[in-house]
Amino acid sequence: MQKLRGSVYLRDGAVSRKQLSPKGLHETVEDEKSWHLLMVNSHQVTGCAWYLEHENTVPVHHLRVRHCPLAKLDQWREKLWKAVGT
């Protein structure tokens, strides 16, 4: 999962090669306390989703999702906040 995430982020320009481990892994301190859902097709990982549960008292603007691409788009921001906040 960390290798797939690293390769996607690197290809998208979200991270540089030096931000990955020598094996190409994108590692975060949250990985050990998160759920990672992997999509598999013919024994090959083709996608992943990362989920880190928070208490329902944490405001949306304190979550990392505030930096995602949808949060930057006026037409999606309110829908995203409603989905995350419920």
Whole-model pTM?
Answer: 0.63
pLDDT in tens, 43-70: 888 888 888 888 888 888 888 888 888 8
Please state the domain extents for the chain. Answer: 2-51, 54-86
String of DSSP letters for 27-85: --TTGGGSEEEEEEETTEEEEEEEE----TTS-GGGSGGGGSGGGG-HHHHHHHHHHHH
Q: Using pLDDT thresholds of 50, 70 and 90, give the confidence band for residue 13.
A: very high
Q: Is residue 16 classed as helix, strand or coil in its secondary structure?
A: coil
Q: Using pLDDT thresholds of 50, 70 and 90, give the confidence band for residue 86.
A: low
pLDDT at 75: 94
Is residue 31 within 8 Å of residue 2, measured between CB atoms? yes
Percent of the chain residues past pLDDT 90, beyond the cut: 38
